[in-house]
Amino acid sequence: MAALLVCCLLATAGLAGCAPGDTVSPTRSRAIAPGATLSPSVSTSPSPTPLPSASSDPGSVPPPWLGTRPLPTDAAGFGEVRPTPPRLRHRAFTLPDSVAELPGHGFTSRILSPAPASVIARSTWQPGCPVAASDLAWIRLAFWGFDHIRHTGELLVNAAAANDVVQVFTELYRARFPIEQMTITTRPELDAEPTGDGNDTESFVCRPVRGSTVLSQHAYGLAVDLDPFQNPYAKDVDGVRRVLPELASSYLDRGDLRPGMITPSGPVFAAFARIGWGWGGAWNSLRDYQHFSANGR
């Protein structure tokens, strides 16, 4: 466990698990790559003063079995819903970043549009997806982790929505809203057996709506799922409660507020409302607390 913590800290500092990154400029100016579109909402204000780490809280340390225990699945491919493990009932850890840290000390972002071919190649995009690869943008941006440290994540989004999405995450950074991990979903991850404990903030995923053949707004890059474990999906199907992630049932109690939970009066709902996106947590036939989309579906 100590080794895991060291790995997380090294990755946060850009010393492990990261690809070569940008050169830090003393003025924190952003290098503009060919074809890049830059968000007008970028702020380089200093980071808020880090809060003390709750390292004594078991929920602040990832359990060693995270992501390694596949669940039995039903005929539709959904994992068996099980009670939330004690270690995840107050989940408040941050996993290592998947990309190199962006320079600076406050919020900043990079938008490359169209997304580089190497990024598309490791995503779920393939011929037949409803959006052209050339219409997707690669965003790297700073976010505030559950460990009270500045992190860098990546999203693949519809290029038409890239600036709006950056605006949202600018506001969430200023509000210190914590995010566990922000990466691009890969094809192997999409096809993997469910473990019920994932928590990746993401946008583009070329897939249908859960339990349907209709394409999701994620397949267009026009939806974002934010901290899914703290904000699960829930739907009753033939009298059986279906929950995604399958181990996140504890977080269906929306009155028991814990870090990372989205509420109608909180900063996440307000930030997405300002760009005109709808929230799945307000739906009637089901609740998708993690989900925001351009058309409200």
Q: 50: pLDDT confidence band, cut at 50, 70 and 90? A: very low
- The predicted structure's pLDDT at residue 56: 55
Residue with tokens 């052209």: 132
Contact 115, 144 (CB under 8 A): no
Higher pLDDT, residue 33 or 145 = 145
Evaluate whether residue 173 is within a structural domain. Answer: yes
* Distance from the Cα of residue 283 to its chain's centroid: 21
Does residue 125 sit within a domain? yes
Cβ–Cβ < 8 Å for 55, 49: no
Task: Note whether 35 and 111 are within 8 A (CB).
Answer: no
Q: How many domains, the chain?
A: 1
290 touches 280 (CB < 8 A): yes
- Lowest mean pLDDT across 11-15, 128-132, 248-252: 11-15
Whole-number pLDDT of residue 5: 38
Domain assignment of residue 90, given as a range: 36-44+71-293
Lowest mean pLDDT among 186-195, 252-261, 266-275: 186-195
Q: Report the chain's mean pLDDT, rounded to a whole number.
A: 85
In a domain, 14, yes or no: no
Residue 10's pLDDT band, with cuts at 50, 70 and 90, is: very low
Phi (first) and psi of residue 187, to 5 degrees:
-60, -45
Q: Within a 10 A sphere around the Cβ of 61, how many other Cβ atoms?
A: 18
Assess if residue 266 is contained within a domain. Answer: yes
pLDDT > 70? residue 160: yes
Tokens of 255: 């009155």
Give yes or no for residue 35 having a pLDDT over 60.
no
Residue 24 covered by a domain: no
What HEC string does the chain produce? CHHHHHHHHHHHCCCCCCCCCCCCCCCCCCCCCCCECCCCCCCCCCCCCCCCCCCCCHHHCCCCCCCCCCCCECCCCCECCCCCCHHHCCCCCCCCCCCCCCCCCCCCEEEECCCCHHHHHCCCCCCCCCCCHHHEEEEEEEEECCCCCEEEEEEEEEHHHHHHHHHHHHHHHHCCCECCCECCCCHHHHHCCCCCCCCCEECCCCCECCCCCCECHHHHCCEEECCCCCCCEEEEECCEEEEECCCCHHHHCCCCCCCCCCCCCCHHHHHHHHCCCEEHHHCCCCEECCEEECCCC
| 18 — pLDDT class (breaks 50, 70, 90) | very low
Dump pLDDT digits (tens) for 223-238.
Answer: 999 999 999 999 998 8
pTM of the predicted model over 0.85: no
Position 52 in a domain: no
Q: Are 124 and 207 in contact (CB under 8 A)?
A: yes
Contacts of 57 (CB under 8 A, 6+ apart): 90, 92
Distance separating alpha carbons of residues 186 and 174, to the nearest angstrom? 29
Residue 77 lies in a domain: yes
pLDDT tens across 87-101, in order?
999 999 999 999 999
Torsion, Cα of 145, 244, 235, 253 (10° steps): -50
| Residue percentage of the chain with pLDDT more than 90 | 73
For residue 225, is it within any domain? yes
Q: Which distant-in-sequence residues (6+ apart) come within 8 Å of 250 by Cβ?
A: 83, 84, 88, 89, 256
- Give me the pLDDT at residue 17, please: 38
Task: Write the pLDDT tens digit of every residue in 57-72.
Answer: 778 999 999 999 999 9
Q: Residue 21: pLDDT above 60?
A: no
Identify the pLDDT of residue 177: 98
